[in-house]
Chains A and B, each alone.
Chain A
Amino acid sequence: MNTPLLQLENIRLELENFSLLDVSLDLLPGEVHVIMGENRSGKSLLMQVISGIVPPDSGKISLNGLEIKSKAHKASYGDILYIRQDADIMPNLTIAENMFFNNLPYKNNLMKQIDYDRLNYTCQLLINELKLPFSIHDKVSSLGLAQRQFIEFCRAYISNARVIILDEPFASLTIYERQLLHSVVRKIQAKGTGIFYITHRLEDVFLLGNRISIIRRGRVLATKAVADCTEEEIIKLMSGQYLKDRYPKIDKQIGKIILSIKNLCFEDKLENISFDLHKGEILGITGLAGSGRSLLTSCLFGATRNVKGTFQINGVPVKIHDPYTAIANGIALIPENRITDSIFGYMNIQDNVSVSALKRFANSLMINSSIMMDAVRNYIDKLNISLHQENSILNYSGGDQQKAVFAKWMLSRAKIFILDEPTRGLDIASKIDIYNYINDLIKKDVGILFISSDIEEILGICDRVAVLSDRTFVCDVPTKNITAEKILELATKEA
């Protein structure tokens, strides 16, 4: 039990603007080793080194006492499984195919003919065993982010990997989903698999962790047994995160109704949703994952077909059939899943910012690119996006990517912003920036729908809050008249 499963010795990696310095860590079999640190502290980079995505400059990684040479690292892929923040799911495959992607059962090993009966059967067994909240027949494309994360977890559960890395797996989940996932983590642990667990949540540390390492600026500050440390100690080491709500809220007189929705229905998933959004108002919408939060945003943005109900913008009835009409009507959507739904990975940050506002800079058929780039630079500067010499937006931090998405819609002068989990998984500095962008928007009479599973955040910045449960809004009240406990209670009241 005491020989480490995985051992890192003096890992060094120097990148242009960041480096890992003499990192030494180990992982015991059947252990949950929590890694905590601020964003940009090097947690994810370290995990990339462990999983062999990025080779270190120097240092030694050994698995079961055998050193892994970086060239031969590929061979150990099966032993180390890295599950990242943004679930890697193939939307056109079934749930079963996604779960068992790495070990599909074959009828005939030579011909690689997949045994679908066995696949579906084992998948169903797994769903029953883990009591997962979906059925084998659901389409992957209809699953919310939380459910996608369940699939990723199942992959980890059924894999033969000896080391599993979970990178902020619970960032967007509600208490109940988290409990379910906690039980999956414990089952994985019981198999003797070692788990590196990156999180921002202190409660998870005490619930699941055996040991904790705190990382700051590419160095391991301390590794301790969780049982030996107190919450205050950890907070102190990390320079304190996740204290109480401190959201920069401003007072703003709300204006006329900008968006009015009556009796919105969609299939059997959403029913009779009605609400009014005023100019300069932030309406918070919360609910459990799978309650249809994200579905509602795509209905409002015209990204789903066959939505029933009446829409009025500024008192004028409109039909929103597709995102194009939504944009033309001044609606902007910042979706939950940034990587797949809101940024253009092959373009640079400037092009990502200008892409929705090209019309503003068009002069007959030509785009006046010098003025456009001037405007884009101004936005990048004012929104505090740290520009560096990288071509693709994918090389920027999550915070800067999300800021660029905000810049895009601000530049296009949208009048209604639908924000789906806009601060999920971001570092505190970026969150604060985004709250201040929202202040800038409401000062100038934009209406904002703010969807979030972080109740503290909803209470901190929204004027009103609506709770989505059992397919519809179960309340719609000013935030000052409701407590976090009440919201949770309403959200979970579902029949």
Chain B
Amino acid sequence: MFAIERIRIIKNHLMKENKVSVARLSELLNVTEVTIRRDLEKLEQKGFLQRTHGGAILIDHYEEEPAEELFDRYTTQRQEIADTAFHLVSDNDMIMITEGMTNVYIAKKLATKRNLTVLTNDLRVALEFSDSPNNNVILLGGDLHEHAVYGQLAINNMQFFSFKHLFLEVDAVNKHSGMMVSSISKASLIQKAVQAAEIISVVCLAECIGSNSLFRIGSIDIADKFLTNSSLDNTYKDYLFDMNIQVYTSVDVYEQ
């Protein structure tokens, strides 16, 4: 049986019963116990369950995910992008992560690195690093807007920093207008951040490519890397490659 399918079944079973036994699952799914243990291990890494002798129990707080995640249709896509980002950052790097839901996933992934210095204006990003004492987090100051800070204060703050890698999440990208976000304060902070970065990685869900938003950051060619999903439209792959941009479509299909 197919691993993804199997994991889905195990999850559902666990949600219903709160605990499972390896023997029962192996019988249910008609695969060896070794396979089941491997699946449980994967789920344990994701923080979904805790393995016990001969089985596993559901971790209660798993359901207490941030409310928006429950309504987020793009969880998988964001995780795929975060996986790619993980492989673009090395220990000891100095990076900046801008506000954005996908960037929160990236932060979650990067929290397992060592000795990063992370600059951010997003409170959620900062919180993701709170449990990882190996990394330093610097939170910009400024006017709070939902989960992130903006405004003149934040922009003034930016002048103190210079970093290697900027993860820049945008709300829309198209060939005509370049990269766009939904507020003017966001656009101006990002414009400032772009000047301070050595490598610029644009993070954007494939669904948002080709769409429109109101405030323009700049043309796409300021990007060095483009992090998106495998459903990216073919014409954009050509377009970005032609502009010397590395296109990461975050394929995640091979089953180890």
Where the two chains meet, the residues of A that have a C-beta atom closer than 8 Å to any C-beta of B are 38, 239-241, 243-244, 246-252, 363, 368, 371, 374-375, 378-379, 382-384, 410, 413, 427-429, 431-433, 436-437, 439-441, 443-446
Contacts and interface: CB of A to CB of B under 8 A. Distances in A.
Nearest first, the 4 closest Cβ-Cβ pairs linking A and B are: A250-B87, A429-B234, A429-B237, A240-B242
A433 B241 CA distance: 12
A83 to B, nearest CB: 26
A384 B83 contact: no
A383 B230 CA distance: 7
Interface string B224-256: 010000111011011101111111111111111
19 contacts: A38-B238, A240-B242, A243-B242, A243-B244, A248-B249, A251-B90, A374-B5, A378-B4, A382-B253, A384-B231, A427-B238, A429-B234, A432-B237, A433-B249, A433-B251, A436-B230, A436-B248, A437-B253, A439-B84
Nearest to B244: A246
Interface of B: 1-2, 4-5, 30, 83-84, 87-90, 225, 230-232, 234-235, 237-239, 241-256
A371 B237 contact: no
A441 B84 CA distance: 12
Contacts of A436: 230, 247-251
Contacts of A443: 83, 87
Given A239-B242, A246-B241, A374-B5, A251 B252 contact: no
Q: Which one of A248, A249, A375, A446 has the greatest number of beta carbons of chain B within 10 Å?
A: A248
B230 A432 contact: no
Contacts of B251: 382-383, 433, 436-437, 439-440
Given A38-B238, A239-B239, A240-B242, A248 B248 contact: yes
A433 B87 contact: no
Contacts of B250: 436
Given A248-B225, A443-B83, A443-B87, 15 more contacts: A239-B242, A243-B241, A243-B243, A244-B244, A248-B247, A250-B88, A251-B90, A363-B30, A378-B2, A378-B4, A384-B232, A428-B241, A429-B234, A440-B252, A445-B256
A181 B248 CA distance: 36
B87 A384 contact: no
B82 to A, nearest CB: 12
A429 B238 contact: yes
A349 to B, nearest CB: 16
A368 B29 CA distance: 13
Q: Which one of B1, B241, B246 has the greatest number of beta carbons of chain A within 10 Å?
A: B241
B253 A410 contact: yes
Contacts of B30: 363
Contacts of A382: 230, 251-253
B254 A444 contact: yes
B33 to A, nearest CB: 17
A169 B71 CA distance: 52
B5 A371 contact: yes
Q: Which one of B231, B238, B245 has the greatest number of beta carbons of chain A within 10 Å?
A: B238
Q: Which one of B90, B242, B244 has the greatest number of beta carbons of chain A within 10 Å?
A: B242
A246 B87 contact: no
B253 A379 contact: yes
Contact of B254 (A246, A374, A446): A446
A198 to B, nearest CB: 18
B254 A441 contact: yes
A287 to B, nearest CB: 26
A377 to B, nearest CB: 11
A70 to B, nearest CB: 32
A371 B1 contact: yes
B255 A413 contact: yes
Contact of A252 (B87, B231, B252): B87
Contacts of A410: 253-254
A440 B239 contact: no
Contacts of B239: 239
Contacts of B225: 248
Contacts of B249: 248, 384, 432-433, 436
B244 to A, nearest CB: 5
A368 B245 CA distance: 43
Nearest to A460: B246
A249 B230 contact: no
A253 to B, nearest CB: 9
Given A251-B88, A251-B90, A433-B230, A440 B238 contact: no
Contacts of A384: 230-232, 249
Contacts of A240: 242-243
Nearest to A384: B230
B154 to A, nearest CB: 30
A440 B234 CA distance: 19
A239 B2 contact: no
Nearest to A407: B253
A432 B244 CA distance: 12
A375 B238 contact: no
Contacts of A444: 254, 256
Given A249-B246, A439-B84, A378 B253 contact: yes
B238 to A, nearest CB: 5
A243 B246 CA distance: 12
Contacts of B83: 443
Given A378-B4, A445-B256, A432 B87 contact: no
Contact of B246 (A247, A374, A375, A378): A247
A251 B87 contact: yes
A370 to B, nearest CB: 11
Nearest to A437: B251
Contacts of B255: 413
A440 B88 contact: no
